[in-house]
Structure 1
Amino acid sequence: MEVSRSEDTSPYPMPGLGADILHMRVKEGSKIRNLLRFVTSRMQEKEKDSNETTVRQVVFTGSGRGVTKTITCVEILKRKVEGLHQVSKLYYKKVNETWESLQQGVPGITMQRTVPAICILLSKDPLDLQEPGYQPPQTVSIFWKFHRRSANDV
């Protein structure tokens, strides 16, 4: 049996997101290293002669088994790029899975599931403090400063 999967394209649970926001869709099979390399390079300051603009906000989304990987990406990025404001929203997403029969004339089976999903906005610019799910920028502890320095020295 072959399986095809489709997800609903419902809007994010955060109204007012701009068109210039970088969207990172994290899936179960996504490689954290690749995601972080891309988003870190886009969020850190570029040289003046570069044609790329620096991204000020990024949205990470993940659903089902990709939720934990989404959170991991966000937590690592917050340690790499300091001073990021965060708003997190949990919601549910509908997923249609269709199992197509390998035998001709036998109909396939379609099942609709509701899976948990997360949407996390990280911003260099201040966000609404009253927004549910808001977290202010973290202060980097001495442990992380030492750990980052020693990891970069290797």
Structure 2
Amino acid sequence: MENFKKVKTSEEESPLPFSDLPPDVVEMKVKEGSKIRNLMGFAMARMALEATRQIVFSGCGRAVTKTITCVEILKRKLGGLHQVTKVQYKTLVEVWENQGPGPQGGQTEHLTVHKNVPSICILLSKDPLDPCQMGYQAPEPPGVLWKADEEAGPEDGSSVSPKGTKRRLAAPHKDDQPKKAAQVQEIQEDTGTTVVGFGH
């Protein structure tokens, strides 16, 4: 395979794993090289229309993570969306071409590889969906996750800044300095090492 180069990749066409979808449902096919900004710009514009009630994001292989990212962004921006997630396997067909010296006939050698890769399809709906179906997730109102993080503090009751601001560490007490120096001296005597400097 060292002289072969992948020249084409295509995925097996399969129907969406959701029942009762309208024929004009918006389907976002996320690829490995897709730009999230472009995907979200189109998805947000379509979901802003009153007539668009549902949207499906799908991706396979290395695009699965990007598919989930797009869904989470859309849910956070719009809020109130019902979700159903389906995970399955899909077949990718890769065509490889021999880049080395071909056979004496002069015809380029091709190799076709079929790969089974994980695939994900996520349905987002403005309208309620059946909560009993596998993969259903109820909607979260906008900003609920952030408010919960801000209001929740550590168990000891101390406050935590939601912005993650830095805190200055307290300066060591002057009475602690002789103790530290004595500890360093003991280490020197025990290990026979030489300490070049001691930070305060």
Q: Which residue of 2 aligns with 1:149?
A: none
The answer to which structure, 1 or 2, has the higher relative contact order (CA under 8 A, 6+ apart) is 1
Q: Which residue of 1 aligns with 2:98?
A: 101
- Taking only aligned residues, the RMSD between alpha carbons, in angstroms, comes to 2.0
Structure 1: tracts of 5 or more residues without a match: 46-52, 145-154
CA contact (8 A) 1:85 1:126 kept: yes
Give the TM-score, by structure 1 length.
0.82
Residue 7 of structure 1 and its aligned partner are, at CA, apart by 1.2
Structure with a larger share of its residues in strand: 1
Helix, strand or coil: the match of 2:122?
A: strand
Structure 2: tracts of 5 or more residues without a match: 148-200
Distance in structure 2 (CA, Å) of the matches to 1:24 and 1:142: 26
Q: Report percent identity of matched pairs.
A: 53
Residue 55 of structure 1 and its aligned partner are, at CA, apart by 1.1
CA contact (8 A) 2:59 2:121 kept: yes
Give the TM-score, by structure 2 length.
0.64
Show CA shifts across 1:53-82 (max 9, x none).
Answer: 631100000000000000000000001111
Q: Which amino acid aligns with 1:28?
A: E
Q: Which residue of 2 aligns with 1:76?
A: 73
Residue 10 of structure 1 and its aligned partner are, at CA, apart by 1.4
**Bigger CA radius of gyration:** 2
Aligned residues: 139
Matched, 1:67 2:64: yes
Helix, strand or coil: the match of 1:128?
A: coil
Instruction: Note the 1:36-55 alignment, pairs <5 A.
Output: 36-45=40-49, 54-55=51-52
CA contact (8 A) 1:2 1:101 kept: no
